[in-house]
Structure 1
Amino acid sequence: MLPLFLGAIYHLFATGTEIEFSKSIISVLYKSGEEMTSGGVLSGLLAMGLKSAVSIYGAAPVFTVGLVFFGMSCVGLTLPKMIESYRNRPQYDQMPEAAQDSRQISAPNIQSSVKTPVLTGKKNVKAIDIPLDEASLKNDDYVEEKVGFFNTKPRVKTPDQVLSQDAEKPLVSSPKTIKHSAPTENVKPLSVEEAAAVAGVSQLTSEGAGATAAIKKISREEVEAETEEITKTIEKTMEESPEVYRYPSISLLSSAGPRNNIDGREEISLNRERLESTIRSFGVSGVITGITRGPTVTRYDLELEQGVKLAKLTNLAGDLALSLGVTSVRIAPIPDKISTVGIEVPNKLISMVYLHDIIDAASFKTAQSKLSFAIGEDIGGNAIVGNIAKLPHLLIAGTTGSGKSVCMNSLIISLLYKSTPDEVRLIMIDPKMVELGVYNGIPHLFVPVVTDPKKAAGALQWAVVEMLKRYRLFSESGVRDLMGYNAHQKTIREQTLPRVVIVIDELADLMLVASKEVEESICRVAQMGRAAGMHLVIATQRPSADVITGLMKANIPSRIAFAVSSAMESRIILDNSGAEKLIGAGDMLYSPLGVGKPMRVQGAFVTDEEREKIINFVKEGAQVVYSEDILAQIEKAAEDKNSSSSENDKRDASDSGSDYDELLPQAVDVIFETKQASVSMLQRRLKLGYARAARIVDQMEEIGVVGPFEGSKPRQVLITRQQWQEMQSSQGGTLKGPAADQVSFSEYADTPTDDWKD
């Protein structure tokens, strides 16, 4: 409205009566407004209308008042505000003129003025702004006496002099004008002790001055020592004070920027026509009701008619892939849809999913758990975020190049973005020594990355001990899990316990070296680790039955399957087939705890450069303190493993000289007692199986104790008990061959022949 009224005022005083009402008035006003000779269309019409109604003398005040009103409204001013501001304006006090210096009033005059109720005579005394209690009592007899600048005697008398004069003078003074002497007359100077007592300061003697000088001299000599002590104290305080963890910036991760708008409509329409024709040719009744294009695959929703079996369609997966010209097609039911099956066809143009987009998503930012980690995007383009606390253990399997290592890095980096070292601690085991070694030095690590398989078994054993220790603390505090224990510790202002995530990059290498210890520790932690805040993340390239045992599968419910080589390996991981049809490069099947069917997800991608930037940022912002207790326990477990393995090697070396059964001496004694040698008799007497009893009989034949096989007849005993005992004593308990084959070197003793000549 402000420009409208301003234009109307301009139109009134600029154009006058040159423009009149006509059919072309709007065009005339528009052109003249462009030329700045009128107020324009709206302002001109408003000004001309009001002018014709109340004349220019009535229109001009109206527009002026409106202009002022709307101008005040623009700046937030109103009449009540202006009135209130005027009322509340600050009152400035006038500066008093130069008055006579009242400092020179002597003590007797002040005393007489205070005690005299009425004084005669008037003087022109300047008024002051500050009201005083003694304003009505004016001293008209005071005459200022000028004193030299360098005055050695004080004007103000000491308290003892004032009191002595009060005792000599009467309480009421006469109204007559008394000429007083100068205030500096008859005033004795104060001594040093009296002046010090009046001023309230301590007297400084010559001895004290000397001591002060000595102290100053000593302090100068000890300045450096005191400075060093203060520096050490500050450094110690900084070390003891907890450092604040700096979360990495999202800018360290590269973003995909605006998504590439890949036009796949032609590809989708062509595949739809081929699918419908192929399904119809094989006699399957169904209609494609929806199409969803994801980063790597496109899902065609096929609604089956009543009476069509799902197995009939799944058996056509190979034929459908052949008709579409792709490597594989996955067919799986769609959750929450009735009689609808999803046919997942790989895209020819794949869109990359970056870790930046998942961490920057709202689902990751709003996740309350400190163990949240980024997984990737599903077919619908939704960000998938996992929670290790709810899994509570995760098994990752896939062949080389399928994206398993990238998934592990995404998980670890997500924990760095989500949690502090006081909330989550990590133990990393990397037998390959190339994947997780770059994380050495981050504050979340309990110990450096473990690369020795024997030490890895010790780290897992420490996890079992720590888990049992935490359960004992829970029992003493009367809580059920780690969350309740930490809440109890916060109420009493004690230290809380962090969650522990154990990351194993290659399980197969550990199972080759120490399978029994590793499997036992993993199963114990998997069974009881959830409430204690201990979680396992295990990855392997070879998902065979000897690596992922049945006991492990039973205790690790959540799985991530990347591309595998066969359906059998897919069943080992997921208990279902389908992972063998994945296309690799981050394509996975995610099966968390509580989900019936696996979810197809395109994993988030993070480069090695991004990972190094984040790790360097975290290293710079915090100081790493490894646990010496855990390192000592791991070293001790590794030493015990080495000692036990060396003893086993020695035992194996001692036993390598004898390949005979340990029950062979007992079997020979039984033969001497029964005077016959047969397999069935050894089975009955020694309670052996047929294979082992027959092998013992063959060994007795080899060393010459019994004769050869004679059909149904028992074998003959060739030696006596005494010969058997001699054989055992001569060979030191180690049987090396038949007694008849033992050769004596005495037969080859050097004896001179008859034809020998010197």
Structure 2
Amino acid sequence: KAYRKSRARLPLVMGKDLTGKPYVADLARMPHLLIAGATGSGKSVCLNTIITSLVYRHTPETLRLLLIDPKMVELSAYVDLPHLRHPVVTDPKDAAGVLRWAVLEMERRYQLFSANGVRSIAEFNQRVREGMPLRRIEPEGEEGDPDRWVYDDGLLPYVVVVVDELADLMMTVQSEVEKPLTQLAQKARAIGIHLIVATQRPSVNVITGLIKANFPTRIAFRVASKTDSRTILDQNGADALLGNGDMLFLPPGSSEPVRIQGAFISTEDTDRLTAWYREQAARAEEEEEEVEETYLPGPGSEADILEIVRAHELEQASEAAFSADDPEEWDELFKAAGEICIQADQGSTSLLQRKLRIGYGRAARIVDQLHEAGVVGPPDGTKPREVLVGLDELEAICTAAEGRG
């Protein structure tokens, strides 16, 4: 009843407080949520309850989900949910790509809001509902019919990114996920992108200072030690919880946590809800064939997220190649090194040392130059760098550099 009456834009059913009163929170006000707790403490049930709360209130027109599940099992119940902007992500590399897309979407929305003089997603969507004229983002230097830039894409949906196990990502691709997570946590509130991040290892090398500082709203389930409790909440208490959904919820703007017995949703309830949405999506697809309109857009109806990110990175690499400070300072073995990396489909200092018979210092400088020119990607721990271009693109980069030289 409290959930149905709630006027929250993104209501979350939390459970009941110590007086037995139902507790409903608003993700839009948090605006991001950090969840931590030991195995078996109720963390996964809480995530399921949160996702169910969101999709029960919102259609895919007003809410899009990005689910990142490195453990591959916790969020598998939602694979057919039409709210998904992208299929459930299980690969850490793809997870980093999804987070980078969320940053690109955040920047796009800020440009859209700036072009229309609005400050929040609620204000923008209100203008859409009232039929007020809105503008698209107009490319720089683009001229032509102004009617081409009239915004007619409908409501901007909320985007909720759910990360089920942050520890797995921090162990494998920390350098690639920590920066976008921090950027989103700092800036994404006003434009309707929200993060829900969960971990069962609340240690300082998982919940780093950068992440913790930007997640003021937190949920702590039972943890093993007072140290873990202080890592999550900055105070003791989570180590004395009872488990099975017993939690301490730190609301936004408060320094005192609220003790709550978490709500429980069974697997059968989740399956029934996703089955209902699946039927509605199938029915909408049938109607689309007749009237060319879809009430519930499926995840395949929009451009693929990872393709968007790859295209953006290639564009940046190309721009970097054409804006490098001084190609005359490139090593004379630059082109040969690029060809070696492309043929080996990887780039590394040791590879160039072996193939070109040069020292470590020179090989490292060439790898840096290849990265600046967009031939190879950024460093990835101990793994070789990814090759971003082919031989034709390398030839074009070298030709352009010679032309400038």
**Alignment TM-score, normalising by the size of structure 1:** 0.37
Structure-2 residue corresponding to 1:413: 52
CA distance in 1, matches of 2:83, 2:16: 27
Of 175, 179, 182, the match for 1:516:
175
Q: Find the structure with the greater CA-based Rg.
A: 1
Q: Post-superposition shift, 1:517?
A: 1.6
Q: Post-superposition shift, 1:629?
A: 3.9
| 1:562 counterpart = 2:205 | no
Structure-1 residue corresponding to 2:307: 632
Structure-2 residue corresponding to 1:651: 349
Q: Post-superposition shift, 1:654?
A: 6.1
Identify if the C-alpha distance between structure 1 residues 381 and 476 changes in structure 2 by more than 3 Å, giving closer, same or farther.
Answer: same
1:304-383 to structure 2, matched below 5 A, reads: 361=1, 363-383=2-22
Output one character per residue of 1:335-393: Cα deviation in whole Å (capped at 9) or x when no partner.
xxxxxxxxxxxxxxxxxxxxxxxxxx2x2111122310111111110101111000000
Identify if the C-alpha distance between structure 1 residues 559 and 655 changes in structure 2 by more than 3 Å, giving closer, same or farther.
Answer: farther
Secondary structure of 1:628's partner?
coil
| 1:453 counterpart = 2:92 | yes
Q: Post-superposition shift, 1:622?
A: 2.0
The letter for the 2-side match of 1:592 is: P
Secondary structure of 1:389's partner?
helix
Of 592, 598, 608, the match for 2:267:
608
Conservation of the 8 A alpha-carbon contact between 2:86 and 2:304:
no
Secondary structure of 2:264's partner?
coil
Identify if the C-alpha distance between structure 1 residues 571 and 582 changes in structure 2 by more than 3 Å, giving closer, same or farther.
Answer: same
Structure-2 residue corresponding to 1:724: none
Identify if the C-alpha distance between structure 1 residues 646 and 552 changes in structure 2 by more than 3 Å, giving closer, same or farther.
Answer: farther
Of the two structures, which has the highest relative contact order with CA contacts closer than 8 Å and spacing of 6 or more? Answer: 2
The letter for the 2-side match of 1:518 is: V
| Deviant stretches of 4+, over 4 Å | 634-640, 652-658, 660-663
Gaps of 5+ in 2: 133-151, 283-297, 317-341, 363-405
Secondary structure of 1:588's partner?
strand
Q: Post-superposition shift, 1:450?
A: 0.9
Identify if the C-alpha distance between structure 1 residues 652 and 388 changes in structure 2 by more than 3 Å, giving closer, same or farther.
Answer: farther
Structure-1 residue corresponding to 2:161: 502
Conservation of the 8 A alpha-carbon contact between 1:589 and 1:601:
yes
| 1:392 counterpart = 2:28 | no
Conservation of the 8 A alpha-carbon contact between 1:402 and 1:585:
yes
Gaps of 5+ in 1: 1-360, 664-758
The letter for the 2-side match of 1:591 is: L
Conservation of the 8 A alpha-carbon contact between 1:373 and 1:411:
yes
Identify if the C-alpha distance between structure 1 residues 653 and 615 changes in structure 2 by more than 3 Å, giving closer, same or farther.
Answer: same
CA distance in 2, matches of 1:477, 1:536: 26
Conservation of the 8 A alpha-carbon contact between 2:349 and 2:360:
no
CA distance in 2, matches of 1:471, 1:560: 29
Secondary structure of 1:433's partner?
coil
Structure-1 residue corresponding to 2:203: 544
Secondary structure of 2:188's partner?
helix
CA distance in 2, matches of 1:662, 1:434: 45
Secondary structure of 1:405's partner?
helix
The letter for the 2-side match of 1:571 is: R
Q: Post-superposition shift, 1:634?
A: 4.9
Identify if the C-alpha distance between structure 1 residues 508 and 652 changes in structure 2 by more than 3 Å, giving closer, same or farther.
Answer: farther
1:105-504 to structure 2, matched below 5 A, reads: 361=1, 363-492=2-131, 494=152, 495-504=154-163
The letter for the 2-side match of 1:445 is: L
Conservation of the 8 A alpha-carbon contact between 1:422 and 1:498:
yes
Q: Post-superposition shift, 1:631?
A: 4.2
Of 189, 194, 201, the match for 1:530:
189
The letter for the 1-side match of 2:26 is: N
Secondary structure of 1:594's partner?
coil
CA distance in 1, matches of 2:250, 2:86: 31
CA RMSD of aligned residues (A): 2.6
CA distance in 2, matches of 1:578, 1:562: 10
Output one character per residue of 1:30-62: Cα deviation in whole Å (capped at 9) or x when no partner.
xxxxxxxxxxxxxxxxxxxxxxxxxxxxxxxxx
Conservation of the 8 A alpha-carbon contact between 1:370 and 1:415:
no
Identify if the C-alpha distance between structure 1 residues 652 and 535 changes in structure 2 by more than 3 Å, giving closer, same or farther.
Answer: farther
The letter for the 2-side match of 1:368 is: R
